[in-house]
Structure 1
Amino acid sequence: MPKMKTKSGAKKRFKMSATGKVMAGQAGKRHGMIKRSNKFLRNARGTTTLSAPDAKIVKSYMPYNR
């Protein structure tokens, strides 16, 4: 049986936490920061955990990282 492949885009964008949740960068911080409120920008720092349906999709892209 050959090795299963990991999606290159997924391994660059997501990482798994120790408990098996999928961590991703916050959305909405690429451009257009002037029109966003300071509260939004503060809350969008760092990373966040993906919802269960989204995490299920990402985990299928990363077969060895479970």
Structure 2
Amino acid sequence: MPKMKSNRGASKRFRATGSGRIKRKRANHSHILTKKDTKRKRRLRASTLVTRAEEKAVRQMLPKL
């Protein structure tokens, strides 16, 4: 039987937390930062959890999580 392959793009974007939830980085923090206020940019630096609705799709891309 062949190896299980994980989605390489997803493996670079998602990590598992200790409790088993999936962590992700927030969007909109890579460019065009001059028009965004400091408070918004600071909030975008923090990571957040993937929603429960999307968790199943991420787990299918990453069988090791």
TM tier, smaller: 0.7 to 0.9
Question: In proportion to residue count, which structure has more strand?
Answer: 1
- What are structure 2's unaligned runs of at least 5 residues? none
Q: What's the % identity of the aligned pairs?
A: 32
What does residue range 1-66 of structure 1 map to in structure 2 within 5 Å? 1-65=1-65
Letter in 1 for 2:44: A
Structure 1 runs of 4+ with >6 Å offset: none
Aligned length in residues: 65
1:47 Cα deviation (Å)? 1.2
Distance 1:27 1:55 in 2: 17
Distance 1:5 1:19 in 2: 24
- What are structure 1's unaligned runs of at least 5 residues? none
